[in-house]
């Protein structure tokens, strides 16, 4: 007898409001409550709170819910300082005091790494910073609202593509933040405001940068107004008429300085958004690696030379590896700019085996790696073959750090130091640094 597939009927989601007790926070800062022993993740809820929720998603092993009302607040709950907080997707932890944010991130990192390393860990003091005015770069979204005939100008709404109008952002570097109201007024008067893409603002040590993405040619009058605005505020101006085209209109190339080196950059290059923490992060990496004059250091995912160039000031030789050709060329140029001759840069796909690569034929007694959120899968498995005695791993994702640490432990390394870097206050993003030593 033939059998026909009959899909299971989906059970209707129970959207009735219900009160729950929040037990703890997950590593992303969401509150966790339990309904029938199933964890329910609630953005905006804090540990030890009684809250009213509405389920938004229910899976076999977990559920998600919308926070409707806080019935009994935590002692750590505070009033957000930003009037846009309930809508804007830029920050997600302003309802938790900054000190408590740091404590939570420290605990989340410690618990995760203790689980994977199998050893009790004492975290180093967190690298913290000012909780406001810390962002030295931002992307401003724009969209022309045909109905209201207004330019929407600001940041994306939480979990949405809609734009929340923002002309005052407390976490943005003050001189950049001061530009927002006048910039919105300027662009609202353009001939074709419906053909504007987005704005990028970046603060360098010598100049601030304004980048305008536009989807149709700009009118001469609008170009002149943009130049006048940039000259008035001493900005370096770029326009992006195409996604792959960056045209400098006026101004000097931006750079930032750290630990005895100067690093020029283009506005489409990756640089850390928090200069204060980046400076201290580089200093801590140099300290943890204990770089000596006879050391040979490999810097993986080196970017523009953020770590490579300061390392080269102390070591015998540094080799930086980066996956993007353009970044490699800029890193080479930055080394020449600083008159640093004991550093070399190469392009390589760090997800593949490096056997046969010129740089891999050398031995390195110390390694630093600073991968993207996906981690260092592939390359991390090969570090011991390079002769590395010490490895500093800088991570923007504790989950991939924990995963990659397993490989290092299996290669005979021991986790010696671990610390949290408060790169993104008021957000759930968790930056960290770990030191592994060969035993």
Catalytic residue, from 25, 55, 297, 396: name it: 396
Instruction: Please check if 422 is assigned to a binding site.
Output: no
306 is in an annotated binding site: yes
Decide the pairing of beta strands 208-214 and 50-58: unpaired
- DSSP-assigned letters across all residues of 128-139: ---SSS-BSEEE
* Half-sphere exposure for 417 (CA within 13 Å, toward CB): 19
Alpha carbon distance 439, 391 (integer Å): 12
- Is the separation of the CB atoms in 434 and 120 below 8 Å? no
- Annotation-wise, does 322 bind a ligand? yes
List, in sequence order, the alpha helices (H) in 86-173.
98-117
Partner residues linked to 433 by β-bridges: 394, 419
91 annotated as ligand-binding? yes
C-alpha distances in Å from residue 18, one per residue of 38, 65, 247, 265, 341 = 15, 10, 55, 52, 65
CB 164 within 8 A of CB 157: yes
Q: Is 302 annotated as a binding residue?
A: no
Contact indicator for 277, 308 with CB cutoff of 8 Å: no
Separation of CA 337 from chain center? 27
Question: In 3-state terms, the chain is what percent helix, strand and coil (to 5)?
Answer: 25, 30, 45
Would residue 302 show up in a list of annotated catalytic residues for this protein? no
Query: By the 8 A CB rule, do 354 and 369 touch?
Result: no
Cα separation, 182 vs 167, in Å, equals: 9
Distance, CA of 149 to CA of 213 (rounded, Å):
20
Q: Active-site positions?
A: 396
Which residues does the annotation place in the binding site for S-adenosyl-L-methionine?
Answer: 272, 301, 306, 322, 349, 370
Indicate the annotated binding residues for [4Fe-4S] cluster: 82, 88, 91, 169
Annotated binding site: 82, 88, 91, 169, 272, 301, 306, 322, 349, 370
């Amino acid at each position: 007898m033939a059998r026909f597939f009959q899909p299971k009927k989906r059970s209707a989601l129970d959207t009735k409001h219900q009160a729950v007790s929040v037990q703890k926070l997950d590593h992303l800062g969401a509150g966790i409550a339990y309904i029938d022993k199933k964890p329910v993740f609630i953005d905006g809820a804090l540990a030890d709170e009684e809250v009213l929720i509405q389920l938004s998603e229910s899976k076999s092993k977990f559920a998600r819910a919308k926070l409707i009302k806080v019935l009994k607040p935590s002692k750590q709950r505070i009033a957000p300082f930003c009037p846009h907080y309930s809508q804007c997707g830029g920050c997600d932890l302003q309802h938790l005091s900054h000190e408590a944010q740091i404590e939570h991130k420290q605990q989340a990192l410690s618990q995760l790494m203790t689980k994977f390393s199998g050893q009790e860990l004492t975290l180093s003091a967190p690298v913290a910073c000012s909780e406001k005015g810390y962002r030295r770069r931002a992307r401003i979204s724009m969209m022309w609202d045909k109905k209201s005939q207004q330019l929407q100008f600001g940041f994306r709404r939480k979990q949405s593509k809609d734009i929340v109008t923002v002309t005052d952002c407390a976490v943005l570097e003050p001189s950049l933040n001061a530009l927002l109201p006048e910039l919105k007024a300027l662009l609202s008067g353009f001939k074709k405001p419906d053909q504007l893409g987005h704005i990028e603002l970046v603060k360098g040590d010598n100049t601030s940068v304004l980048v305008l993405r536009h989807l149709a040619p700009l009118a001469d009058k609008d170009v002149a107004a943009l130049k006048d605005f940039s000259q008035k505020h001493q900005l370096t101006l770029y326009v992006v008429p195409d996604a792959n085209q960056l045209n400098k209109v006026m101004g000097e190339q931006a750079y930032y300085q750290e630990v005895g080196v100067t690093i020029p950059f283009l506005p489409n290059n990756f640089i850390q958004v928090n200069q204060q923490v980046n400076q201290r992060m580089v200093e801590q990496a140099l300290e943890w690696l204990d770089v000596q004059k006879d050391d040979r250091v490999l810097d993986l995912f080196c970017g523009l030379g953020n770590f490579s160039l300061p390392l080269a000031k102390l070591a015998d030789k540094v080799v930086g590896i980066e996956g993007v050709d353009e970044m490699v060329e800029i890193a080479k140029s930055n080394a020449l700019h600083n008159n640093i001759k004991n550093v070399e840069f190469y392009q390589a796909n760090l997800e593949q085996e490096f056997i046969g690569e010129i740089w891999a034929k050398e031995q390195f007694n110390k390694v630093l790696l600073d991968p993207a959120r996906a981690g260092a899968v592939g390359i991390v498995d090969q570090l011991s073959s390079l002769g590395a005695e010490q490895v500093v791993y800088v991570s923007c994702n504790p989950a991939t750090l924990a995963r990659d640490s397993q490989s290092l432990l299996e290669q005979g390394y021991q986790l010696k130091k671990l610390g949290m870097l408060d790169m993104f206050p008021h957000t759930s993003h968790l930056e960290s640094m770990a030191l592994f030593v060969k035993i």
